[in-house]
Amino acid sequence: MKVLLSWLRDFAPIEGDPVALGEQLSDLGMAVEQLDLLGEGLDGVVVARVLATRPHPDADKIQLVDVDAGDGEALQIACGAFNMTPGDLVPLATVGTTMPDGMQIGRRKMRGEWSNGMLCSARELGLGADHAGIHILPEGLPVGVPFAEAMGIESDVLYDLEINPNRPDAMSVAGVARDLAARLGVPFSLPDPVVDEVAADRIGAVGVEVDAPDLCGRFTARVLRGARVGASDPAIARRLTLLGMRPINSLVDVSNYVMLELGQPNHPYDLAKVRGGGLRVRRARPGETMVTLDGIERTFIGDDLLICDGDDRPVGIAGIMGGAETEIDDSTTDVLLEMAWFLPIGIAKTSRRLRLRSEASARFEKGTDPEIIDLAHRRFAELVAPSGARLEAGAVDVRGELPERRPVRVRTGRLNRLLGTQLAAGDIASLLAPIGFQTSVVGDDTEVTVPSWRYDSSTEIDVVEEVARHHGYTAIGRRVPRSPHTGRLTERQRERRRLRSLLVGRGLSEAMPLPFLAPGDLERTGLPGDGIEIANPLVADESVLRTSLLPGLVKALATNAARRNTGVGLWEIGHVFRRPAADGAAGPLPDEREMLGVVLGGRDASEAVQEWWAVAEVLALRGVTIRNEALPGLHPTRSARLVGPAGEALGTVGEVDPLVLESHGIGERVGWVEVDLDVVADLPHDPHVYRPISIYPSSDIDLAFEVGDQVPASDVERALRAAAGERLASLRLFDVYRGPGIAEGRRSLAYRLRLDAADHTLTDDEVAEVRRRCIDAVEGELAATLRG
Amino acid sequence: MTDASSTPATAADDLVAEIGRLEDDARARVAAATTVGEVRAVETDTIGKRSALNALRKRLGSLDADGRRTVGKVLHGATEAVAAAVAERRAVLEAAERTEQLLAERLDLTEVLPGRPAGHLHLVTQAIQDLEDVFVGMGFTVAEGPEVETDWHNFGALNFPPDHPARDEYDTLYVNYRERGSTLLRTHTSPVQVRVMTGTPPPYYAVMPGRVFRSDTADATHMPVFHQIEGLVVDRDITFADLAGTIDAFTKAYFGGDFTSRLRASYFPFTEPSAEFDIQRPDGTWLELGGCGMVHPNVLTNCGLDPDEWQGFAFGFGIDRLAAARHGVDDLRDLFTNDIRFLTQF
C-alpha cells in the first residue's frame, strides 16, 4: 500500500521529518518498505511527447525515440526501454541534468547514435521501485514544462507500506492517516463531501436482488447521470500514478481514487449496458463462465459469488473483477455505481482459486468498512462532478448478514498482566479513542465497541493489541524471565553432538543435501522407488521425499567428483520419510526417522566398518554385530547389516554398489555407513561402569585358525570371547591370510588374545587352560582348524 | 733367593715401572678408541679381570709389607686413572654418536605428506549449536519435532482457520499421505510449540531449532529448505515485557553486547500482540531478524491450556541467512551444494 504524505495531510495535520514519520508508521505495524522523497533532483527533467520510435541500426536492446521536448522539434534519444508508443507523454532528463542518484546526463553517442538526454523510469526519478520501463505520464500534461511542476510534485514523500492481514483499516490513505494521527496526537477527520443531488429518476428502475446474504453483507447502488468521460483531473491522475495505478479515464480514475482514499472498492457500470435494468448477487452455477476485464474467460464453482444483470447474466465476480461487457467507455453517460460489503473469506477463496488478485479483492478479503459506503458514494459524486455527472437522489441498499459488533469486555488487570504495564482504564480509553474504539468503564474493566472498519478485531486480545500498539512497544519495559528449569540438552541431543564431534575428528565433513529427490532417484541408487510424493512440487526434481540418505550423499559425492574433488568423506544426520510397513497400523504421519549417513570417497568397505566401530564406540552401543548380506544400493558382496543385541535393524555398512557409482560418474570406491539413530536411541547403552585395571602382568596368546570363507570372522570372534571368559582383556584380529598353504576358499584368521586377572599373575597352567578352551570352542563350533 | 736383582726394593721398582708402562699403554689405547664399543673392549683389556694390570696384583705377594703397600697404591692409582680415562673417552664418544644419530634422523617437517585433515561441521549446524548454547545458558531446553506434519499442528492449532488468507503466505508443500491436504512439510518450526504444549505440562522455556520447507524456487536468497529456531516461554505471569527483555538478552548474548533490539507491531495468526524484531548493529544499521508475540489465547486453548491461567510468548527467526551473512556467503544455494571446498572453509 502506497501513500503520499500530502494525501495523508488531507485528513490530519501531520508534520515532521519524513524519515521519523516513516519510523512511526513502521512502529505501528505498517512497515515502510520504501521511502521516496519526491521532487528532489528533478530540475532539468521535463515532460516530453513521443513522436516516433525506430530501431537502432546497430543494437537490439536500444531503440531510437524522437521526442518533442516543448519546442516542436524532434529530439533523438537512445533508450533501453520499449514500453512507449508515439503520442505518450514521458519524462525526459535533458542534457545537463543531475539525477536524484547523482548521475549526470550528457549528450552522448550510444552505439554510434546520438542521445540528447534520457527517458526515465519511475525509479530513476525517485518515484518508487518501478524500473520495468519508462514512466508513462498521464495525458493532458503540457509538453516542455518541468516534470515536477507538471506533476505537482512539491517535496512530497511517497511511502510504500507493508500492510498486515489484521489491518483492513490501513488499506486506505485515510486509514493510514487515522493511525498515524493517533500516534502523533493530532486530530483526524474524514472528508464530508457536499453533493448537489438531482431528483431520482433511473434509480427507481434499478432492481437489486441479493440471493446470497451470507456472502454479501451489504449491496448498494446509486445512479450518476450526465457524465462526459474524458481525461482525469491532473491532480487525480498524478496521485493515482504515484500510487502505482495507471490513469484510464475520468470515471475509472475516480473509482480507483475513492478506493485508495477510503478503502471502499466500487464498481461503476455503464447503465446503458446493464441488461434487465438491475443487478443480482448470487452464487455461481458450477461450470458457469464469464470473460473478466483482463480478457480471460473464467469458470466458476458454486462457492463463487457473481454479480449478474437483470437478465441473470454475469457481469462481474463479486469483489474481485468486473466483466468486459458493462465496462465504462468514452460513450458512457449514465453510471450505475455499485458499492458493497462482501464476506472476506468468500472473496479470499475465490481469489485464490482463480489466482486472480485485484486491488479490490485485496481490500475485501481483509474486510472493508460497511459503514463507509454512503460517504464513499458522495465522495465519488463530488470527484466526478467536474465531468458533469450528477448524483441522483435515492439509493438501492440491500443488507445481508453483516458481522455483528458486540462490545468487547477488556479486563484492565488482564491487559496489564499480559503487557507488563500499569495502565489505568482511563489510559486505555485515551489510547483507543483516536482510532475509533469507543470505550466505557464498567467496574474495573472497559467495555469497548470496535469500529466498523476493524473487521479483524473482535476479542479482548485484539483490543489489547491495539492498546499495546498505540501505547508503543518501546514504551513497554523489558524484563528477562527466570526459567525454573536448568537449561540443558537432552541425552539424545548430547549424543548427537558427540557423534558430530567424532565424525569431524575422523576427518569427515558434514554435508546438507536437500531431502527432496527427483522421480527415479531412488531407483538410480538401487533402492525401491516407494518414496512419499509431494502433492504440489514446484519442480519435478524436488517431488519425492527421501527414504534413505544414500541418494543425497551419493549425489553430493558426484557433484564433488564432477569438480575434480575425489577422496571426499561426507556425512549427514537427517530425516528420512517412509511409508509405514503396515497400512492398517499407520499413524497420522509417515514413518520419519533420524539417520546418520556416511560416504567415504576412495575408501572401501573395510574402512567403512572401521568408521562404524568408532561410531558404535562413541554411541556406547553394546552387543551389536555385523551380518554380511547383499543390500539394495550397496555392493552385493561388500555389504552388511548392523544388528542390535535383540536383532534390531540398526543400519547398514559396506560399499556403494559399483553400478550406482558408475551411473553417478564416481570413479572410486565409496565406503558407506548408515545408522538409524531412532533405533540407537532405544538400545541399551553401555553405562560405562568401571572395570578395574589389573596391576598384574598380562599374557598374550596368538591363535591362527584356518576357516572357510563362508564362516564370518565375527563367528570366530564370538566363540573366542565366550570361551576366554572373564580372563579376556582384549581380542584383536591381527592377520588375515589367503594363499599358499591354505586351501582354496579358506583363509587364515590370526587373533591375539590378551589375558589377565585382577588379583594375580596368570600361571602358565591358567593360560594354557584358556588356550585349550578357545581352540576347542572354535574347532568344535565352526568349520575351523587351528593352524600348526 | 739367589738372584741379586731380586732384592725387595728392586722387585718393587720393577713392578712400579711395569705398572707405569701398562698405564701408559692403556691410556694410549683409550685415547685411540674411536667407538664406544672399542672403549668397552679397551676397558676390558686394560683394567678388566683378565687384564695385565690386574694380573700384577698376584705379584704383590712377593713383596715385603712396605713394598706391597707402596706398589699396591700405585697399582690402584693406575687402574683408577685408566678407568677415568675410559669414562671420559666413553662420554665423548657417546655424545658424538648421539649427535650423529640425531643428524641421521633429521626430518624436514615441511616435506610431510598430508594426513587426513579434520572434518568440518556444516555452517548451519554450527549456527544452530551456537544458538542452542546461548538459549541453554538462559535456562531453555531444546525441543524437536517431525518435519512432515499434520495440517492441524502446522496451521489449525496455531489459529490458522481453513482457507484463511494468512496461509497463503506460507507456500506450503503438501505430501501425498492420508487425506488430501492433511499432511505437509512443516512451513515453520511452530508446530513443535504445539507438540511441546500438548505433550508436557507447563511451564515451558524451550527453543525449537529445525528444518522447514516452502514451495520456493532456489535462488541466491531463497531455498525450498531452510532452518529456523523458535522459542516458547509459557508460565503464569510472562508478559510482553519479558518477550522484549528476552529478545534483547539473546541479541546481546549471541551477537555481542554492543547490539540492541527493537520490536515493531506486526501480525501472525498464532501470536497477539505480534511484533517483528530487528537488531541494531554497532554501526547503527538495522537487520530484520524475525517475528514474535504473545501466544494467542486460541493457541493455548487448542493445546489444552487455560489462557487465563497460562500465558507467554513465542519468537522465531531464520538461521541460514544469518549464518551465511556472518561468513560472507552471498548465495544460499552454496549451503546445499556440498562442494567439499565450501564445506571445509568453516
The pLDDT > 70 percentage for chain A reads 99
Say if residue B80 is in the same domain as residue B199. no
Q: Is residue B19 part of a domain?
A: yes
CB atoms < 10 A from the CB of B285, how many?
9
Chain B positions in Cβ-Cβ contact with residue A477 (cut-off 8 Å): 241, 244-245
Average pLDDT over residues A304-327: 91
Quick check: A9 and A25 in contact, CB under 8 A? no
Residue of B nearest to A574 (CA): B211
Write out the three cell numbers for A60: 537490439
The pLDDT > 90 percentage for chain A reads 77
Dump pLDDT digits (tens) for A57-92: 888 888 999 999 888 889 999 998 999 899 999 999
Say if residue B235 is in the same domain as residue B168. yes
CB atoms < 10 A from the CB of A104, how many?
10
Q: What is the DSSP string of B234-291?
A: EESS--HHHHHHHHHHHHHHHT-TT-EEEEEEEEETTEEEEEEEEEE-TTS-EEEEEE
Among candidate residues A708, A667, A706, the one with its CA nearest the CA of residue A786 = A706
For residue A691, the model assigns a pLDDT of 84
Interface contact flag, A510 B176, Cβ < 8 Å: no
Please, which residues 542-561 of chain A have a Cβ atom closer than 8 Å to chain B?
542, 545, 556, 559-560
Residue A615 class from Cβ within 10 Å (0-12 exposed, 13-18 middle, 19+ buried)? buried
Say if residue B16 is in the same domain as residue B163. no
User: Residue A380 pLDDT more than 90?
Assistant: yes
Q: Is residue B215 part of a domain?
A: yes
Average pLDDT over residues A434-463: 95
In angstroms, what CA-CA distances link A181 with A10, A155, A193?
12, 21, 21
In angstroms, what CA-CA distances link A675 with A502, A506, A554, A580?
14, 17, 16, 19
Say if residue B160 is in the same domain as residue B218. yes
Coil, helix or strand at residue A235: helix
Say if residue B201 is in the same domain as residue B250. yes
Which of the two residues, A675 and A102, has the higher pLDDT score? A675
Decide if B142 touches A, using CB distance below 8 A: yes
User: Residue B6 pLDDT more than 70?
Assistant: no
Nearest-CA distance B40 → chain A (Å): 35
Residue of B nearest to A421 (CA): B241
Dump pLDDT digits (tens) for A91-130: 999 998 888 777 888 888 888 888 999 999 888 887 766 7
- The C-alpha atoms of residue B67 and residue B12 are separated, in whole angstroms, by 6
Average pLDDT over residues A347-370: 94
Q: Among A512, A534, A563, whose Cβ lies nearest the Cβ of B173?
A: A534
Interface contact flag, B183 A589, Cβ < 8 Å: yes
Say if residue B73 is in the same domain as residue B151. no
Which of the two residues, A40 and A140, has the higher pLDDT score? A140
Dump pLDDT digits (tens) for B41-87: 999 999 999 988 888 888 888 888 888 888 889 999 999 999 999 99
Residue of A nearest to B206 (CA): A487
Count interface pairs A-B at CB distance under 8 A: 259
Report DSSP state, residue B112.
P
Write out the three cell numbers for A43: 530540475
Average pLDDT over residues A401-414: 94
Average pLDDT over residues B135-162: 94
Q: Among B264, B297, B339, whose Cβ lies nearest the Cβ of A560?
A: B339
Mean per-residue pLDDT over chain B, rounded: 92
Q: Is residue B110 part of a domain?
A: no
Average pLDDT over residues A24-35: 95
pLDDT band at residue A44 using 50, 70 and 90 as cut-offs: confident
Q: Is residue B118 part of a domain?
A: no
Domain housing B303: 123-343
Please, which residues 107-166 of chain A have a Cβ atom closer than 8 Å to chain B?
164-166
Q: Is residue B115 part of a domain?
A: no
Dump pLDDT digits (tens) for A612-656: 999 999 999 988 999 999 999 999 999 999 999 999 999 999 999
Interface contact flag, A588 B150, Cβ < 8 Å: yes
Q: What is the DSSP string of A525-548?
A: TTS-S-PPBBSS-SSGGG-EE-SS
Decide if B234 touches A, using CB distance below 8 A: no
Phi then psi for residue A508, to 5 deg, are: -105, 135
User: Residue A330 pLDDT more than 90?
Assistant: no
CB atoms < 10 A from the CB of A634, how many?
27
Residue of B nearest to A349 (CA): B163
Chain A positions in Cβ-Cβ contact with residue B296 (cut-off 8 Å): 461
Q: Is residue B112 part of a domain?
A: no
- The C-alpha atoms of residue A164 and residue B166 are separated, in whole angstroms, by 9
Average pLDDT over residues A275-287: 92
Average pLDDT over residues A543-563: 96
Q: Which amino acid is at A229?
A: V
Interface contact flag, A476 B297, Cβ < 8 Å: no
Write down all domains in chain A, each with its CATH number in brackets.
2-38+159-184 (3.30.56.10), 45-155 (2.40.50.140), 202-399 (3.50.40.10), 408-472 (3.30.56.10), 491-682 (3.30.930.10), 699-786 (3.30.70.380)
CB atoms < 10 A from the CB of A267, how many?
24
- The region, left, alpha or beta by phi > 0 then psi within -120 to 50, assigned to residue A784 is beta
Mutate to test the interface with A, among B178, B216, B236, B240 (most CBs of A within 10 A): B240
Average pLDDT over residues A727-753: 94
Average pLDDT over residues A745-763: 95
CB atoms < 10 A from the CB of B112, how many?
8
pLDDT band at residue A133 using 50, 70 and 90 as cut-offs: confident
- Domain count of chain B? 2
Q: Is residue B116 part of a domain?
A: no
CB atoms < 10 A from the CB of B237, how many?
12
Residue of A nearest to B341 (CA): A565
- Residue whose grid cell is 508508521: A25
Average pLDDT over residues A403-409: 92
Say if residue B246 is in the same domain as residue B333. yes
For residue A387, the model assigns a pLDDT of 87
- The C-alpha atoms of residue A681 and residue A677 are separated, in whole angstroms, by 6
Its ipTM equals 0.86
Chain B positions in Cβ-Cβ contact with residue A595 (cut-off 8 Å): none
Please, which residues 355-414 of chain A have a Cβ atom closer than 8 Å to chain B?
365-366, 414
The pLDDT > 70 percentage for chain B reads 97
User: Residue A138 pLDDT more than 80?
Assistant: yes
Average pLDDT over residues B292-312: 97
Among candidate residues A784, A767, A774, the one with its CA nearest the CA of residue A724 = A774
Say if residue B153 is in the same domain as residue B276. yes
Mean per-residue pLDDT over chain A, rounded: 93
For residue A405, the model assigns a pLDDT of 87
Decide if B245 touches A, using CB distance below 8 A: yes
For residue A678, the model assigns a pLDDT of 96
Write out the three cell numbers for A270: 455503464
- The C-alpha atoms of residue B250 and residue B138 are separated, in whole angstroms, by 8
For residue B2, the model assigns a pLDDT of 44
Chain A positions in Cβ-Cβ contact with residue B145 (cut-off 8 Å): none
Say if residue B129 is in the same domain as residue B86. no
Q: Among B117, B217, B339, whose Cβ lies nearest the Cβ of A559?
A: B339
pLDDT band at residue B8 using 50, 70 and 90 as cut-offs: low
pLDDT band at residue B4 using 50, 70 and 90 as cut-offs: very low
pLDDT band at residue A585 using 50, 70 and 90 as cut-offs: low
Chain A positions in Cβ-Cβ contact with residue B297 (cut-off 8 Å): 459, 461
Phi then psi for residue A382, to 5 deg, are: -60, -40
Taking the CA atoms of residue B8, residue B11, residue B17 and residue B20 in that order, the dihedral angle to the nearest 10 degrees is: -80
Phi then psi for residue A204, to 5 deg, are: -60, -25
